[in-house]
Amino acid sequence: MNAPVYLDYNATAPLYPEVVERMSVVMSAPLNASAVHARGREGRKIIEAARRNVSALVGADPENVIFNSGATEGNNTVLRHFNGRVLVSAIEHPSVLQVRPDAEIIPVKPSGVIDLLALEEALQKEPKAALVSLMLANNETGIIQPAKEVAGLAMRYGAWMHCDAVQAAGKIPVDMTALGIHFMTLSAHKIGGPQGVGALVLGQCGETPMLLAGGGQEKKARAGTENVAGVAGFGLAAEMALKNLADNQLKQANLRDGMERRLCDLYPDIAIHGAAETRLPNTSLFSLPGLKAETLLMALDLAGVCVSNGSACTSGKVEASHVLKAMNVPQAEIVSALRVSLGYGTDSGDIETFLAALKRSVPVDKIQSSSSGG
């Protein structure tokens, strides 16, 4: 049986073969980076090399990279650190939206871009906001947010800026120093590294949020024995993502744009969300009104094609997109939304297989009759 065509890189990217090999070698030795003997020093050397690679990927100082279990931990660490008013955008990942029930939600425009006027109005209120949290690129639509402008507004009104850059890092150039971001969260498994490893990267802010105490690891900023093999895999994945960034951007954008043109030819009533905005080159979120995403996902899965209906953060459930709701997208489009996300291993054959499977699952006359029937 052939392996499924995998078009769900925004959920998790397959491990680079080189990362698997690297981690296998590192795991074969007892490397506790906190130990002072030779094996401990070897583990420490591996971690520091990875720290340099991750910092290079996002334009940060290596000393400000704190390894952890992933962006969910990083997001919790930052948002729980601040006791004052916290402002978060309406399109954030649940690991931001659910951390602080008292957070004030900043709306986005129908385009999917944060409403800067609404943000400034919230920042002008008393007491002053302590933190603004905005993802760099949305995981569902791929829309890139104006992080630099938001960071500038936050600074103007005395607030810090947190950015979940999980989807952006490794897909577009990221320089957190140039953007003015104070706290950035990353996950290795989005760029071909292992699951369960990530980083909280600090900007030039002098603040070090801490969630876990009880040890001196990670410069006393994150207690717990370091996952040396996982960190090694993250470091190599970051190095490869940066090295191949320009080529992957061009390749994925060409594949995605060509796929969308053919989808529009096949289904004139299709809605491609965020198509008018600057998006990640690998991401396409579209709706076929009159159909149900769950039905489409099952049909494509049976045809050997893996896509999703949005965020893979609800334990396998097919749920309506809160991102599209925040964009005031019609309900008929929300319930029929599918996300296709490409990656380093995607080729034109994968796109052909997906389009053929979709055409078999959704004949043109079916979608036209469904949409015209209201």
Which tokens is 252 given? 């994925």
Contacts of 366 (CB under 8 A, 6+ apart): 291
Q: Is 264 strand, coil or helix?
A: helix
Q: Which helix (H) or strand (E) holds 40?
A: helix 38-58
Paired with 108 in beta bridges are 114
Contacts of 342 (CB under 8 A, 6+ apart): 7, 9, 252, 255, 256, 282, 283, 350
Decide if pLDDT at 318 tops 80. Answer: no
Which range, of 154-163, 169-178, 290-299, averages the lowest pLDDT? 290-299
pLDDT tens for 129-166 read 999 999 999 999 999 999 999 999 999 999 999 999 99
Q: Quick one: pLDDT at residue 52?
A: 98
CA distance 89 to 132: 8
Decide if pLDDT at 369 tops 70. Answer: no
Decide if pLDDT at 371 tops 50. Answer: no
Number of helices (H) and strands (E) in the chain: give both, helices first: 14, 12
Domain 5-13+245-372 and domain 17-243 have a common topology: no
What sign has the CA pseudo-torsion 18, 24, 30, 34? positive
Q: Quick one: pLDDT at residue 327?
A: 97
CA distance 209 to 163: 14
pLDDT tens for 8-60 read 999 999 999 999 999 999 999 888 777 788 888 888 899 999 999 999 999 99
Mean pLDDT calculated for residue range 231-255: 98
- Would you state the CATH architecture of domain 5-13+245-372? Alpha-Beta Complex (3.90)
Give the residue extent of every domain in the chain: 5-13+245-372, 17-243
CA distance 226 to 66: 11
CA distance 368 to 359: 13
**For the chain, what percent of residues have pLDDT higher than 90?**
81
Given a contact cutoff of 8 angstroms between Cβ atoms, the answer to whether 355 and 263 are in contact is yes
- The whole-model pTM stands at 0.93
Q: How far apart are the first and last CA of the chain?
A: 40
Catalogue the long-range contacts made by 275-278 (C-beta closer than 8 Å, 24 or more residues apart).
276/111, 277/111, 277/112, 277/113, 277/141, 277/143, 277/144, 278/143, 278/144
Average of per-residue pLDDT values in the chain:
92
CA distance 134 to 75: 11
pLDDT tens for 67-105 read 999 999 999 999 999 999 999 999 999 999 999 999 999
Q: How confident is the model at residue 363 (pLDDT cuts 50, 70, 90)?
A: confident
The CATH code that applies to domain 17-243 is 3.40.640.10
Q: Quick one: pLDDT at residue 4?
A: 93
Which range, of 139-143, 215-219, 290-294, averages the lowest pLDDT? 215-219
Decide if pLDDT at 186 tops 80. Answer: yes
DSSP 137-161: B-TTT-BBP-HHHHHHHHHHTT-EE
Q: Active-site residue 313, yes or no? A: yes
